[in-house]
Amino acid sequence: MPLAPAVPSFAVIPGADVHRVLDGRHEDVVRIVESAYRVHGSGDTVNPPSYFLTFPDRPDSRIIALPASLGGSAGVDGIKWISSFPRNVEAGIPRASAVLVLNDPVTGYPMACLESSIISAARTAASAALAADVLARGRGRGRPRRIGFFGTGLIARFVHQYLTGTGWSFEATGVYDVSDTHAKGFARHLEREGDNGTLTLHTSPEDLVRSSDLVVFATVASAPHVTDPAWFAHHPLVLHVSLRDLSPEVILASANIVDDAEHCLKANTSPHLAEQATRGRDFIDGTLYDVLTGTVDVPGDRPVVFSPFGLGVLDLAVGRHVYDTLHQRGELAVVDGFFHEMRRYG
């Protein structure tokens, strides 16, 4: 008679532990994210649509649920619950906060709850760094040496860390933000980090885009605000991390790579607006998995825009890595007796 599956213990993993596992391990996290993309592309995941909780009295805020199941050698189920409250920035606290719940794929029991703002930022930045490397190589131009950051919050900082942490260096770095204070704060951070070449604070978004061969959009924009395709006439590589900055005209004048078309073309993202304008998806050139597997060529005669909606399976992959690392070290903070009522008939 087969043994009944064991109920897992339940651990709570605070942000300090997450940071300790991931800090400085940029190349490792990029490999974990690449592996998750490959598992997803091969069909061994379940990644339902994200669910948006919005508020009539707080239209700029939202909380998003991202359920997912990741197969492969590090299989795990779970859900990320992440909030975005932009007004937090005015109060001096981060815009986003999140938790990630990991579920045991054998019993379905939750086995850990992790602070996940760091995991979310890390997987987002790792995805961007992976895409920048793969797409730059696909164009045959080598890595761009002039970078521009459009938006200067936590995600911009993490993207910069993951680029430099995976071997990128720059001859020139541009910074633009609608908040002069935030732009100057980010510039001071970049000065401390080094490897950024000539640092320029731009007062014009057009100047930032035109002077950059790699443009990182990391804003909280809810609608397109960059509308002129002529800004991109030099055919830069664009990491469109915040998803809603570019008008349909800019999208349609570019080569477009997404992480997952079904996820990306919804919720009024820039690609979704382009789909509505054209009533089709022919402007989507492929997914990052397609580029990784060589089934899609990356053109060099147009701007190339990578628009990642952000897949829950990436959070699961990074969260599972954090959990497994702490478990192997014997450092999991287990909550004794978390599952209390364990008898079917009392």
pLDDT value at 206 more than 80 = yes
What is the average pLDDT across 131-142?
93
pLDDT, residue 176, reads: 98
Same domain, 226 and 262: yes
Residue 218 forms part of a structural domain: yes
* Total domain count, the chain: 2
Same domain, 207 and 156: yes
- Helix count and strand count (H, E) for the chain: 11, 15
What is the average pLDDT across 195-218?
96
pLDDT, residue 5, reads: 73
pLDDT, residue 1, reads: 42
Give strand ranges (E) for the chain: 11-13, 45-46, 51-54, 62-70, 76-84, 96-103, 110-115, 146-150, 172-176, 198-201, 214-217, 237-240, 255-258, 284-287, 304-307
Residue 125 forms part of a structural domain: no
Same domain, 108 and 186: no
Residue 224 forms part of a structural domain: yes
Residue-wise pLDDT tens digits, 262-276:
999 999 999 999 999
What is the average pLDDT across 56-64?
94
Same domain, 146 and 265: yes
Lowest average pLDDT, out of 191-205, 261-275, 321-335, goes to: 191-205
Same domain, 246 and 233: yes
pLDDT, residue 145, reads: 95
The vertex-145 CA angle with 24 and 224, nearest 5°, equals 90
Lowest average pLDDT, out of 5-9, 10-14, 135-139, goes to: 5-9
Same domain, 302 and 319: no
The radius of gyration computed from the CA coordinates of the chain, to the nearest angstrom, equals: 21
Sign of CA dihedral 247, 253, 256, 261: positive
pLDDT band at 346 (very low <50, low <70, confident <90, very high): low
Same domain, 40 and 165: no
DSSP secondary structure, 26-73, as one string:
HHHHHHHHHHHHHHHHTT-EE-PPPEEEE-TT-TT-EEEEEEEEE-ST
Same domain, 151 and 229: yes
Residue 5 vs residues 77, 107, 217, 337: alpha-carbon distances, Å:
16, 7, 46, 18
Domain interval for residue 173: 140-307
The vertex-133 CA angle with 140 and 126, nearest 5°, equals 170
pLDDT band at 4 (very low <50, low <70, confident <90, very high): low
pLDDT band at 232 (very low <50, low <70, confident <90, very high): very high
| Pairwise pLDDT comparison (95 vs 232), residue with the higher score | 232
Residue 64 forms part of a structural domain: yes
Residue among 232, 231, 284 nearest 258 (CA):
284
Residue 94 forms part of a structural domain: yes
The vertex-274 CA angle with 207 and 141, nearest 5°, equals 50
Same domain, 168 and 301: yes
Pairing label, strands 198-201, 214-217: unpaired
Same domain, 302 and 321: no
Q: What is the pTM of this model?
A: 0.93
pLDDT value at 74 more than 80 = no
Residue 93 forms part of a structural domain: yes
Here the tokens at position 210 are 């035109």
Which CATH number covers residue 279?
A: 3.40.50.720
Same domain, 115 and 195: no
Which CATH number covers residue 30?
A: 3.30.1780.10
Average pLDDT in the chain:
94
pLDDT, residue 3, reads: 58
Residue 110 forms part of a structural domain: yes
Same domain, 146 and 261: yes
pLDDT, residue 2, reads: 54
